[in-house]
Structures are given as structure tokens and as C-alpha cells.
Structure 1
Amino acid sequence: MTTPDRNRKDLDDIFGEILPETTSDERDPEPPERDTDEWYERERPPHHDR
């Protein structure tokens, strides 16, 4: 028989971590992006004038 810890590790290796150890409200918020237009500039369709 496998131990519960070993079984959990095997499941995590196969399926990935389903539930994180901490929830999003327990983690520090991500810092905002410095240049908010950067994404829009990168994703701008080629037919739009620059």
C-alpha cells in the first residue's frame, strides 16, 4: 500500500496541483504593469496605421 503523502505526490505528478496551497486572497497582489498600452501595441492588427 502507498502512504497518503506518496499517493498525493503521484497524483500531483500526473494531474498537476489541482488546489493550490494558498488561495489568491492570501497571496500578495501582482504589481500592475508599467506600460498598460504595451499589450495593445503588440496585439494591434497589421492593417491599423501606427
Structure 2
Amino acid sequence: MTDPTRPETREERRRRLEAIFGDTLPDTTSDERDDARAPREESASEAWLKAQVPPHHG
């Protein structure tokens, strides 16, 4: 058991929160990483939906 008067270290806090909530969020966000993503192909339903947009909407 830990001493309640001693402040917990970052590592102890991280492990405790991970035990409660599962994996924590990554340390960096996607805009900070240089992840090369392949362009996603548009599905037939997305293409149809875009074709249905009236001209005055863009």
C-alpha cells in the first residue's frame, strides 16, 4: 500500500489511471506526427449524396 502523505509520481499516476480507464491517450496528437495516410476512396453513396447538392449550396 502506498503512503497517503507522499505525493504520487507521474509514472504511478499514469499506471493508476491506466488501470482504471484502460489505455491512455497518445502523448502526441495526429497533427504533431508525420503519419502518411493513403487517400480514402469515395464510396458510391458519398458520390451520389454530393451529386444531389443543389447548385446554390456550393
Fold agreement, TM-score > 0.5: no
Q: TM-score, normalised by structure 1?
A: 0.43
